[in-house]
Structure 1
Amino acid sequence: MPEGPEVQRFADQLDRVLANQPIVQLTARTQVAKRWLTEHPEMLLGREIVRVSAFGKNLIGWIAGDYYFYSHLMMWGRWTTFTGVPPHEVDRRERARIITATGGAILLSAPVFQLGQGNPYTQIEILRSLGADILPQSSEPFDQARFVEALRLSQPDRTIGAALLDQSIAAGIGNYLRAEILFLCQLDPWRRVGDLTEQNLHQLCQTVPQVARRAYETGGFTVSDLDRTRMQQDPGLVYRSGSEWGTRHYVFRRTNLPCLRCNTPIRQQKQLVRTDGTEEKTRIIYFCPVCQQVSINLKPRSTKRSTADTTI
């Protein structure tokens, strides 16, 4: 699933192509957006797209006249942009197409695309409940107070590994960011939120926006330049020498590879992240058992270096 940094890059991409341009054509295949277009025929044609922005994993296009378009990419969605003449053929994965006189954007594979008038932050349920944005506008700092308050209001028995995936606590964190954040904070993913110290909270407040910004600026890399060079030069630190696989992160998808800090093999484990009383949802968490002082009992690790797990 695209996380905050990836969605912000999509928003930047759309903003460069669409901002300050009147809409020539807008089509949609999602049920909600199709119904809106039927009820408001040609309402958006000729209206200028003011800007495109992101908040966490959510992308919003602001349209003149107090209108908007909204998308959530979920697991496989992505935006593509073009300049000049739009592609004639319609990809079967296409969910929306926005065309201006100079170019446009096409949404692929995303199940969530909506149109509306008014403030999307009050009209769209998920936007009303979001926590601090991990990648706020460049002029704004990460809202540490909001983040800490949301953590403290969370269930004290909840694990920090589960809490970081809660978008009402921090908007934009997904599986790879939470693994990297917890590693850099040297935090056990199974540590209870109620047991976090003031130092733990301070580290999280510093690390969350730093890791998000690093991933945004580098196209998804969270390791430092120095550590990436180490992995590129030492075949023992990667799955396959010469491949980028295994050089992007400290722990995420580096199962059985040596920790870059203590040389202990990185582990992975399913972690309960949510339950609704009838169904439990788990996600794979990657970690260094030594650096993060992991408290749970771990099964003997496999000595096979496998990249088979592709859980995001």
Structure 2
Amino acid sequence: MPEGPEIRRAADRIEKQIGGRVLEHAWFAFEELQTQANSLIDIRVDAVETRGKAMLIRFDNQRVLYSHNQLYGVWKLHAAHKPPQTNRSLRVRLVTEGRAASLYSASDIALLDTDALEDHPFLARLGPDLLSQNVSTASVLARLDDSRFHRRSLGALLLDQGLVAGLGNYLRSEILFYAGLHPKKRPVDLTATEREQLAQIIIDTTWQAYRQAGVTNRDAWIEQAKTAGETRRQWRFSVFERAGLSCHRCGEIIERQMVGSRRLYWCPHCQPVA
């Protein structure tokens, strides 16, 4: 499943396609939305934002189109007169000035009033979105110290969208590696300095993945990995997808384990248990 940086980049593309323009046509596959389609005609698309792995398309009549791609959903951008060739099921189509944004295969879609967003069952459970909201290191640190989170293992906690929204499997492994923390560690086990460093690394790694299209590795390590013949799937990361390969930092062999029923990669030397 795409993580927060990939959804944010998709939101950017949609905003470039239809943002700031007035809708000429709106179509929904689901019956409960079909009756609301006309309420969007002649309405301007104000902004496209993300909340973790969900997308919010805001309109200037204070309405918001919420969607979550889950495993199979995908937005496709195209000329209005030339829909893409695909076997996927069309769920939403928004058209403005000859441009179209079409959502395929997703099932979690709603048209909401702005003031009802916080009551949406998925959005209400989310922590702050690092890429669409102004989230400070102090804010993330406060969440790590929150009683809901501070006694949970980091290997599980970093997948909890209630901590911060948008982290997923590859970001979890990369963040823990850069923080030098074993996945069994808990926020309560860390020193004040370690917790502050972790909060900053959570922000920095997520922003790097967004700005560099999913690349979280360091430039020098990327060149080293390319020279060694690693594929992009391997060299784009510091530890994720690199089980059996040497750690860029210390040379130890990267290991893989299952945490929370999902793959986690770590360096035994750089991320000791004790």
| TM-score between both structures, scaled by the size of structure 1 | 0.81
Whether 1:283 and 2:262 are equivalent positions in the alignment is yes
Q: Which residue of 1 aligns with 2:205?
A: 211
- The structure with the greater share of residues assigned to helix is 2
Distance in structure 2 (CA, Å) of the matches to 1:13 and 1:120:
26
Counterpart selection for 1:65 from 40, 43, 61: 61
The correspondence of residues 8-47 of structure 1 with structure 2, limited to 5 A, is: 8-29=8-29, 31=30, 34-38=31-35, 40=36, 42-47=38-43
Q: Does the Cα contact within 8 Å between 2:144 and 2:195 map onto a contact in 1?
A: no
Offset of residue 18 of structure 1:
0.8
Q: Report the Cα distance in structure 1 between the residues aligned to 2:118 and 2:202, rounded to whole angstroms.
A: 26
**Aligned match of 1:230:** 224
Q: Structure 2: how far apart are the matches of 1:89 and 1:183?
A: 41
- 1:183 and 1:37 map into 2 onto residues whose CA distance is 47
Counterpart amino acid of residue 196 in structure 2: H
In structure 2, how many angstroms separate the alpha carbons of the residues matched to 1:123 and 1:98?
Answer: 25
Give the count of matched residue pairs: 273
Please name the residue that 1:49 is paired with: 45
Asked if 1:165 is matched to 2:153, the reply is: no
The amino acid across from 2:27 in the alignment is T
- Which of the residues 279, 283, 293 maps onto 2:272? 293
1:253 aligns with 2:250: no
Does residue 177 (structure 1) correspond to residue 165 (structure 2)? The answer is: no
Give the Å deviation of 1:133: 2.0
Report runs of 4+ in structure 1 exceeding 3 Å deviation. Answer: 88-91
Aligned-residue sequence identity (percent) comes to 32
- Structure-2 residue corresponding to 1:7: 7
Structure 2 counterpart of 1:110, from 90, 106, 109: 106
- 1:222 Cα shift? 0.2
Structure 1 segment 68-83 matched on structure 2, within 5 A: 68-83=64-79
Q: Alpha-carbon deviations, 1:201-239, whole Å to 9, x = none? A: 11112111111111111110000121111111123xx3x
Please point out which of 136, 143, 166 is paired with 2:136.
143
> SS state of the match for residue 181, structure 1?
helix
**Partner Cα distance (1:154, 1:18) in 2:** 39
Deviations 1:31-86 (A, max 9, x none): 4xx30323x35121221111111232221111121111011122232222124524
Q: Aligned partners of 1:88 and 1:263: how far apart in 2? A: 47
Matched, 1:192 2:186: yes
Deviation at 1:89, TM superposition (A): 5.8
Residue type matched to 1:294 in 2? V
**Aligned-CA RMSD value:** 2.0
Residues 98 and 106 in structure 1, CA contact (< 8 A), matched pair in contact too: yes
Contact 1:255 1:265 in 2 (8 A): yes
**SS of the counterpart of 1:23?**
coil
Distance change (3 Å), C-alpha of 1:163 and 1:97: same
Deviation at 1:114, TM superposition (A): 1.4
Q: Retained in 1: the 8 A contact 2:149–2:163?
A: no
1:221 to 1:101, Cα distance in 2 relative to 1, 3 A: same
Q: What TM-score does the superposition give when structure 2 sets the normalisation length?
A: 0.92
Alpha-carbon distance change, 246 to 207 in structure 1, aligned in 2, over 3 angstroms: same
Task: List runs of 5+ in structure 2 lacking aligned partners.
Answer: none
Distance (Å, rounded) in 1 between the aligned partners of 2:84 and 2:181? 51
Question: Compared with structure 1, are the counterparts of its residues 168 and 262 closer, same or farther at alpha carbon in structure 2 (3 Å cutoff)?
Answer: same
Using the alignment, how far apart are the partners of 1:88 and 1:130 within structure 2? Answer: 33
